[in-house]
Amino acid sequence: MELQGKIIAVLPERSGESARGAWKTQDFVLETHDAYPKKMVFNVFGAERLERFNIQAGQEVLVSFDIDAHEYQGRWYNTVRAFDVRSAVSAPMSTDAPMPAATPGAPAAPSASAAPFPAGTVSDNSSDDLPF
């Protein structure tokens, strides 16, 4: 899965020692640019990934991540683990952006509000039993 947004918080790095050796992890908070912005906490595990991604607060990023859940003492917890974080150089796509002006001689693009059939008419495929 992928999500684009702005890093609004960089949480403290955690590290430790396990049977397999030293480990490092850090959590980040991303906010989307939707009409109703959403926030997501994601985790980057591994010193080499933390160094390679070099995530900074205020940075616009595209995060590729996996979601997994685990059980602990009868309760379930989600983990959102990023496996790739890239800088998003282009501005986010906006659905209310104006359409580019048509060039002379080019066919006009249909408007988004244009219905495929005028109101009160039926398509030529009236043999289906669909309720809509």
Whether the Cβ atoms of residue 16 and residue 22 lie closer than 8 Å to each other:
yes
pLDDT in the model for residue 94: 46
Query: For the whole prediction, is pTM greater than 0.75?
Result: no
Phi-psi region of 21 (alpha: psi -120 to 50; beta: other; left: phi over 0): left
pLDDT in the model for residue 128: 60
Phi, psi of 75 (to 5 degrees): -115, 150
Which pair of structure tokens corresponds to residue 34? 């939707």
Q: What pairing do the DSSP bridges indicate for beta strands 60-72 and 39-45? A: unpaired
Distance, in Å, from the CA atom of 114 to the CA atom of 106, rounded to the nearest integer, reads 19
Whether the Cβ atoms of residue 125 and residue 84 lie closer than 8 Å to each other:
no
pLDDT in the model for residue 91: 47
Whether the Cβ atoms of residue 87 and residue 36 lie closer than 8 Å to each other:
no
Q: How does pLDDT run along the chain (132 residues), one tens digit per residue? A: 999 999 999 999 999 999 999 999 999 999 999 999 999 999 999 999 999 999 999 999 999 999 999 999 999 999 999 999 999 875 445 445 455 554 455 555 555 455 554 555 555 555 666 565
Within 10 A of 15 (CB to CB), how many other CB atoms are there?
10
Whether the Cβ atoms of residue 4 and residue 61 lie closer than 8 Å to each other:
yes
